[in-house]
């Protein structure tokens, strides 16, 4: 059988990530219901076993394709186009920071800071636009969610200041 060169092989490494995550979760789920009465474990045992079976089938199928030389374990499909990876990781880091600081800075200030930094990460360089869009969006969010709908979002210095004025 002809072996296609590595460039022509379909990159299937990324396709294995979700089944492996799913399989790991199924094992964890089954371990947590193993000692429970049947009413509490039946559904999980059945679904967990079914999921493990499906994952095994997928891994076997991928293994067979690897043996035939039609696929590779490359992660190319997942990581390309590469020029956006930095921005994507920057956004994820900013989201983690957003979740971490919102209880302290409150909704409006966190929203303003996140928007400003996220636009900067995505390539907006005009300072008036950065500040203008971030400030207007954060204030619209404040007016809609906190002033109008009274949504119980975390309060911080801006909410305290605006609350004392209005």
Q: Examine residue 33 and tell whether it contacts other proteins (CB under 8 A).
A: yes
| Chain centroid, CA 95 distance in Å | 10
Q: State the binding string over 57-96 for other proteins (x if CB under 8 A, else -).
A: xx--x---------------xx--x--x--xx--xx--xx
For residue 11, list its beta bridge partners. Answer: 72
User: Which residue, chain included where needed, has tokens 């499909």?
Assistant: 77
State which residue, 6 or 32, has the beta carbon closest to other proteins.
32
CB of 2 to other proteins, least distance (A): 25
What's the min distance (Å) between Cβ of 107 and other proteins? 6
With the CA atoms of 13, 19, 24 and 30 taken in that order, what torsion angle do they form, in degrees rounded to the nearest 10?
-160
CA distances from 86 to 74, 92, 135, 140 (A): 20, 10, 25, 30
Nearest to 112 by CA among 134, 79, 85, 142: 134
Q: Can you tell me which residue has the tokens 């971030």?
A: 134
What residues line the site for other proteins (CB under 8 A)? 14-15, 17-19, 21-22, 25-26, 28-29, 32-33, 36-44, 47-48, 50-51, 54-55, 57-58, 61, 77-78, 81, 84, 87-88, 91-92, 95-96, 98-99, 102-103, 107, 111, 114-115, 118-119, 122-124, 133, 137, 141, 145, 149-154
């Amino acid at each position: 059988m002809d072996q296609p060169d590595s460039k022509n092989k379909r990159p299937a490494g990324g396709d294995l990530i979700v089944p492996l995550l799913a399989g790991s979760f199924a094992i964890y789920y089954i371990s947590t219901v193993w000692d429970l009465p049947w009413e509490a474990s039946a559904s999980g045992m059945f679904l967990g076993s079914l999921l493990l079976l499906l994952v095994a089938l997928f891994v076997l199928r991928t293994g067979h394709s690897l043996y035939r030389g039609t696929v590779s374990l490359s992660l190319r499909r997942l990581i390309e186009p590469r020029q956006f990876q930095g921005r994507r990781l920057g956004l994820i880091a900013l989201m983690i920071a957003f979740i971490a600081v919102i209880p302290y800075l409150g909704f409006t200030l966190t929203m303003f800071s996140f928007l400003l930094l996220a636009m900067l990460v995505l390539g907006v360089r005009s300072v008036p636009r950065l500040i203008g869009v971030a400030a207007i969006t954060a204030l619209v969010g404040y007016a809609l969610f906190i002033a109008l709908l009274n949504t119980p979002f975390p309060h911080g210095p801006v909410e305290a200041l605006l609350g004392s004025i209005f």
